[in-house]
Amino acid sequence: MNMNYLIYLVYPLMLLLLFWGAHVEKKGCFNEEAFSLRQMKALQGFTAVCIMLHHISQKTCANWLPSEIIIPGLELFVPYGYYFVGIFFFCSGYGLLKSLRTKPDYLKHLGSRRALPIVVAFYLTAWIFLLVRFLMKEDLNPWKVLWYASGLKLSDPNAWFAIILPFFYLFFWIAFRFCKKESTATLVLGILVLAYMILGTFIDHNDFWMRGEWWYNSAHFFILGVLFARHEERITLHLQKYYKLYFVLLLLAAILFDGFETYTSWRFSYYGENWYAPDKVPRRWACLTSQVLASCAFVFWVFLIQMKVRIGNRFLSFLGGITLEFYLLHGLFLELFAYDFCGVAPSLYHLRNIPLLVLIVFLPTLPCSVLLQKADGAICSLLTGAVKKEKR
């Protein structure tokens, strides 16, 4: 009996996950904890599950898959991965500036307390994936193993986020270490992030670093998070004063810009190299611009909701504490049971029951993420001599 229709239950279940235990503020009142660490972590926990579903959708119902592989159900998650990653970038930029303002000598410890745990988790996951690639009988040679082990070629296809974020931390350190004024440092940081995004549009799709547009089409949220942290009080007071107006305008903008992005991506495409288009870089600029507009409208609308709704439950708090590890590990179980393993070998078993596939990806990732986090913390403590690693 085909049970794939049950996959549509994922949508109400995701709403239940987000709003279980939530509190809606009464008329005229706002959630004073909207941008607190607890709220941000809860939102990131939910977003991590959205990213998992996005990756599952790309292996089950994306329109570029062979027709015999496509099984419908998760189409809503296919195109919006960069929305979800954008929330992580926003929270990272926001958290960095808030910490810089409140913690003495924060820049001195930025590398060891914030960047190092990400780098260690990246390599631990990369080597786990490399071992599994060997067990899955991928055609490996010494050079390929070296590329994978070094991280210059991704053994974990989804690990690009853990590469970019330490570089953004470096940008932040450079800007705020060498600029005396916060406004100047923010400007320098914005220029560095923008330069990174523009550089990405000049690089064709490949199998190494900067593989495609997903490496840079949500990066703008990092600097937007810093800007919001700088002017948080003034912005939130303004939004509270005209809340209903902005709620409607951003919702309409999200819908309109989503349509504009769909048209722009179809009309121009990031993949100009496929037909040697001489204008491929301007084409990518057009696609990137449309995606920046669409993602900003949607993500800021989400934060508007959070200004009225205090989210949080024990499970979201748990997820919020292991988001990096969950992000890095869930792809392992997906690749083992999707239609192939990382595009290089047959999967362990092609599971065509999508609800069961979601469970097989989600459930083992939870304990494995906890174990990875413990191993990460132990290694970081050994490397830095720290007694306790700062909570990410």
Give CA–CA dist 8/72, Å, rounded: 9
Digit-coded pLDDT (tens) for 17-53: 999 999 999 998 999 999 999 999 999 999 999 999 9
Q: Is residue 30 part of a domain?
A: no
Q: Is residue 295 part of a domain?
A: yes
DSSP class of residue 9 equals G
CA distances from 148 to 122, 143, 241, 277 (A): 12, 9, 52, 31
Confidence grade of residue 392 (pLDDT, cut at 50, 70, 90): very low
Amino acid identity for residue 112 in this structure: S
Residue 24 neighbours by CB under 8 Å, 6+ apart: 308, 309, 310
Amino acid identity for residue 3 in this structure: M
Paired sense of beta strands 23-24 and 309-310, if any: antiparallel
Residue among 191, 193, 185, 199 nearest 168 (CA): 193
Per the structure, how many domains does the chain have? 1
Give CA–CA dist 32/36, Å, rounded: 8
Say which residue the tokens 């290089």 belong to. 344
Confidence grade of residue 168 (pLDDT, cut at 50, 70, 90): very high
**C-alpha distance across the termini of the chain, in Å:** 45
Give CA–CA dist 384/113, Å, rounded: 9
Confidence grade of residue 209 (pLDDT, cut at 50, 70, 90): confident
CA torsion sign for 218, 66, 205, 344 is positive
pLDDT of residue 69: 93
Give CA–CA dist 99/107, Å, rounded: 9
Q: Residue 294: which domain range?
A: 4-24+36-384
Q: Is residue 64 part of a domain?
A: yes
Please tell me the pTM assigned to this model.
Answer: 0.94
DSSP string, 171-212: HHHHHHHH-SSHHHHHHHHHHHHHHHHHHHHTSPP-SSSS-S
Buried b or exposed e, range 143-176, using 16+ CB within 10 angstroms: ebbebbeebebbbbebbbbbbbbbebbebbbebb
Q: Is residue 392 part of a domain?
A: no
Q: Is residue 375 part of a domain?
A: yes
The phi and psi torsions of 310 (rounded to 5 degrees) equal -90, 105
Q: Is residue 390 part of a domain?
A: no
Tokens of 273: 């190299």
Digit-coded pLDDT (tens) for 327-383: 999 999 999 999 999 989 899 999 999 999 999 999 999 999 999 999 999 999 999
Say which residue the tokens 């703008």 belong to. 220
**Treating both helix axes as pointing N-terminal to C-terminal, what angle do 37-60 and 81-102 enclose, rounded to 10 degrees?**
160
Q: Is residue 365 part of a domain?
A: yes
pLDDT of residue 391: 46
